[in-house]
Amino acid sequence: MELDKIEEKDLRMGIANQVVFAETLEKLAASNKNIMVVTSDSRGSGKLVPFGEKYPNQIVEVGIAEQNLVGVAAGLASAGKKPFAVSPACFITARALEQIKNDVAYSDNPAVLVGISAGVSYGALGTTHHSLHDYAVLRAINNISILAPADNFETEQAVHFAAAADKPVYIRLGKKPMPFLNDVDAKFEFGKGRRVREGKDLIFIATGETVYPALSAANELKEKHGVESTVISMHTIKPLDTELLDNLAAYGVPIITVEEHMVNGGLGEACASHLMQKRHHVPFVMVGIPDEYTVTGSQVEIFNYYGISKDGLYCLGKEMLSN
Amino acid sequence: MTDKELQLKSVYLRRNILKYIYMAKAGHTGGSLSCIDILNVLYNRVLNIDPDDAKNPNRDRYIQSKGHCVEALFTTLADRGFFPESDLETLCQHESHYIGHPTKKVNGVEQNTGALGHGLSICVGEAIAAKLDGKPHRVFTLLGDGELPEGSNWEAFLSAAHYKLDNLYAILDYNKQQITGDNAEVMNLDSVREKLESFGWAVKEVDGHNLFELEEALNNGPLVVGKPSFIIANTIKGKGVSYMERNIKWHHGVPSPEQYELAMSELQEAEDLI
């Protein structure tokens, strides 16, 4: 399966979510002069060169210095600006973690942190450039929400939400073109999972760029076995939509979580923790990157290797239903 | 406030630092005593602030990067009327807002600091915003010498000079000691003046216990137009109490009842001499 080719015939192909982010922010910045971009030599990868040309007074470059990137963003937010600090997810959430924890979250400076080329988007560039820890570390920090939009629609909505938020927000974005997902609920609501497919036999809870392969697997299960799956785009990792989890658990069918993140501390563990504490005993499997030296490859090769793919999730779904 | 009253204020604040550390049985004693003259000058002669309008967007900003010397900040803020001094009786007590580092839950505190090497970057953001908005207020930070090896400071030094932030003032509380011992042994900071000048800052060195030298350095606009200002305040750790001065054991030492009485009597003598 190739992520940049649509196999699902009824889906319309979009562009990379991080391009949508840049375009959306550019539109918002026209009428809101407080919106600012802070970059760490990352405006090119963030697709923000046009933003900088159009609004030279709304962009601050700090050079390759992520700690200062986040600290400066905190100061701008404290002064009433609406800064979006943009840097590869691997660097902003690791190198600058203490600035995120203290200067943004603890000091309650409502900056927006945008992790671009997230997960294994950088593919064969390897572990230094992968962010498989960002949900885990940010979930353990009070006063910051975590958004991982799946498609262009969710991305645009997430940027609008973040621009208006009076609390710190982290948005995680990938760089592959993504298809528009069909929308059962036809809306984006912060903190609420979005149903992109409805069914009562099996449940996929996915996030970010893994929602599409989960949906493809669900469609394959229907086509080959008549299995009807629910697929959730859990675009808000924190706060987690626990109400939705309670409702889904009541179906009494297997749940599979899917994420472009190490299984330790990610979406899957967040869901498992809630389900267990609420005594929802349903078959449950977490799909993500295991705690091991990550295999070399492109994003799609890494996805395929770890079963974050149409085929992998199809087989897993079939197996869980036959048990 | 007259010059004499300002001098008396320094003694008063030193007394309060010791009083509340003694009550809390915790605190950063030596560093609070080394920087208190700087805070006294800032809050009584330099900063354009109003305790009754603490969030006025045009106020001068003071962000204390060396957050552990919170006793200096809290006693100064209380004295300036940001909150009743009696609140400090709860310092570090269960459920008190007055914790062992600056927190915005306390009126007048700008940012939650305490992890070192954070204050300056936030100030850079504040100073850039003020420049963009054409606001005349100034941004001040107090750095400890022990926190200067934090790499984030040097990232921030570069950016402050790059953006020509002459509304930004960093004051170094240069007592030349840190928890393990002398800076010179822990991590050498020699030629700090030359280091900052080479980073594009304007630098001035003052006696950090001379209130009027401090005021002169801090209250006359940027040292050089178009450059951020770096004030090296040469100080003495534990300043004002003979047995604490330059003695690293008082980095966060808490006096015994006898030591407390001795310190108070020394401060009384100092007051009588003013």
- Residue B69, domain CATH: 3.40.50.970
Q: How confident is the model at residue A187 (pLDDT cuts 50, 70, 90)?
A: confident
CB contact under 8 A, A83 and B125: yes
Min CA distance, A174 vs chain B (Å)? 27
CATH number at residue A78: 3.40.50.970
In this structure, are A19 and A142 located in the same domain? yes
Q: What is the number of domains present in chain A?
A: 2
Min CA distance, A146 vs chain B (Å)? 22
Question: Chain-centre distance of CA B203, in angstroms?
Answer: 18
Helix axes B119-132, A66-78, angle to 10 degrees: 50
Q: Which of A63, A71, A81 has its CB closest to that of B129? A: A81
Q: What is the number of domains present in chain B?
A: 1
Residue A199 lies in a domain: yes
C-alpha span between A56 and A50 (Å, rounded): 10
Min CA distance, B52 vs chain A (Å)? 19
Is the predicted pLDDT of residue A7 greater than 90, yes or no? Answer: no
Which of residues A146, A178, A210 is at a domain's end? A178
CA nearest neighbour of B241 among B214, B222, B220, B268 = B268
- Measure Cα distances from B215 to A162, B37, B42, B211, B218 in Å: 42, 10, 8, 6, 5
Which of residues A141, A163, A178 is at a domain's end? A178
CA nearest neighbour of A229 among A254, A210, A247 = A254
Q: How confident is the model at residue A183 (pLDDT cuts 50, 70, 90)?
A: low
Are A67 and A39 within 8 A, CB to CB?
Answer: no
In this structure, are A251 and A158 located in the same domain? no
Are A218 and A205 within 8 A, CB to CB?
Answer: no
CA nearest neighbour of A147 among A102, A195, A197, A89 = A89
Query: How much is the pLDDT for A9?
Result: 66
Query: How much is the pLDDT for A46?
Result: 87
Name the closest residue on chain B to residue A36, using Cα atoms: B129
Select from B55, B106, B121 the residue whose CB has the most chain A CBs within 10 Å, as the one to mutate to test that interface.
Answer: B121
Query: How much is the pLDDT for A66?
Result: 98
Residue A166 lies in a domain: yes
In this structure, are A24 and A125 located in the same domain? yes
Residue A6 lies in a domain: no
Pairing of strands A35-39, A82-88: parallel
Question: DSSP string spanning A77-143?
Answer: HHTT-EEEEEEEHHHHTTTTHHIIIIIIIITT---EEEEES-BTTTGGG-GGG-BSSHHHHHHTSTT
In this structure, are A106 and A254 located in the same domain? no
C-alpha span between A36 and A77 (Å, rounded): 9
Min CA distance, B29 vs chain A (Å)? 24
- Residue numbers of the domain that contains B32: 3-273
Q: Which residues pair with B161 in a beta bridge?
A: none
- Residue numbers of the domain that contains A48: 13-178
Q: How confident is the model at residue A5 (pLDDT cuts 50, 70, 90)?
A: low
Query: How much is the pLDDT for B263?
Result: 98
Are A89 and A21 within 8 A, CB to CB?
Answer: no
Q: Which of B129, B156, B159 has its CB closest to that of A79? A: B129
Residue A79 lies in a domain: yes
In this structure, are A100 and A238 located in the same domain? no
Are A247 and A156 within 8 A, CB to CB?
Answer: no
In this structure, are A97 and A151 located in the same domain? yes
In this structure, are A300 and A162 located in the same domain? no
Are B70 and B100 within 8 A, CB to CB?
Answer: yes
Contacts of A62 in chain B (CB under 8 A): 155, 159
C-alpha span between B201 and B157 (Å, rounded): 8
For the stretch A86-111, pLDDT in tens is 999 999 999 999 999 999 999 999 99
In this structure, are A257 and A229 located in the same domain? yes
* Three-state DSSP class for residue A238: strand
Tokens of A291: 């705690």
CB contact under 8 A, B112 and A107: yes
Q: How confident is the model at residue A10 (pLDDT cuts 50, 70, 90)?
A: confident
Cα–Cα–Cα angle for A28, A33, A39, rounded to 5 degrees:
80
A4 in contact with chain B, both atoms CB, cutoff 8 A: no
In this structure, are A39 and A124 located in the same domain? yes
A98 in contact with chain B, both atoms CB, cutoff 8 A: yes
Question: DSSP string spanning chain B?
Answer: --HHHHHHHHHHHHHHHHHHHHHHT---HHHHHHHHHHHHHIIIII----GGGTT-TTS-EEEESSTT-HHHHHHHHHHTTSS-GGGGGGTT-TT-S--SS--TTSTT--S---STT-HHHHHHHHHHHHHHTT----EEEEEESTTTT-HHHHHHHHHHHHTT-TTEEEEEEE--EETTEEHHHHS--TTHHHHHHHTT-EEEEEETT-HHHHHHHHSSS-SSTTS-EEEEEE--TTTTSTTTTT-GGGSS----HHHHHHHHHHHHHHHHH-
Q: How confident is the model at residue A182 (pLDDT cuts 50, 70, 90)?
A: confident
- Measure Cα distances from A192 to A24, A186, A245, B80 in Å: 21, 12, 10, 46
CB contact under 8 A, B125 and A99: no
The better pLDDT of the pair A46, A206 is held by: A206
Q: What is the mean pLDDT of residues A264-273?
A: 98
Which amino acid, A197? R
Residue A4 lies in a domain: no
CA nearest neighbour of B17 among B203, B272, B260, B274 = B260
In this structure, are A146 and A280 located in the same domain? no
Query: How much is the pLDDT for B188?
Result: 96
Q: Which residues pair with B239 in a beta bridge?
A: none
Which of residues A161, A178, A195 is at a domain's end? A178
C-alpha span between A230 and A183 (Å, rounded): 12
Is the predicted pLDDT of residue A238 greater than 70, yes or no? Answer: yes
Q: Would you tell me how many other CB atoms lie within 10 Å of the CB of residue A13?
A: 12
CB contact under 8 A, B115 and A67: no
Tokens of B25: 């049985």
Residue A8 lies in a domain: no
Query: Given 3-state DSSP classes, what are the helix, strand and coil percentages for chain A, each rounded to the nearest 5?
Result: 40, 20, 40
Tokens of B258: 């006898």
Is the predicted pLDDT of residue A140 greater than 70, yes or no? Answer: yes
Q: Which residues pair with B230 in a beta bridge?
A: B170, B203
Q: Which residues pair with A147 in a beta bridge?
A: A171, A236
| CA B192, B193, B198, B199 torsion-angle sign | positive
Radius of gyration of chain B (CA): 18
CA nearest neighbour of B33 among B78, B82, B66 = B66
Question: Which of the residues in chain B have pLDDT under 70?
Answer: none
Tokens of B13: 């604040």
Is the predicted pLDDT of residue A184 greater than 80, yes or no? Answer: no
Question: Chain-centre distance of CA A156, in angstroms?
Answer: 13
- Measure Cα distances from B220 to B161, B169, B228, B229 in Å: 19, 11, 13, 11
Q: Which of A65, A107, A109 has its CB closest to that of B155? A: A65
Name the closest residue on chain A to residue B132, using Cα atoms: A57
In this structure, are A195 and A165 located in the same domain? no
Pairing of strands A202-206, A82-88: unpaired
Name the closest residue on chain B to residue A78, using Cα atoms: B126
The full length of chain A comes to 323
Min CA distance, B68 vs chain A (Å)? 14
In this structure, are A28 and A117 located in the same domain? yes
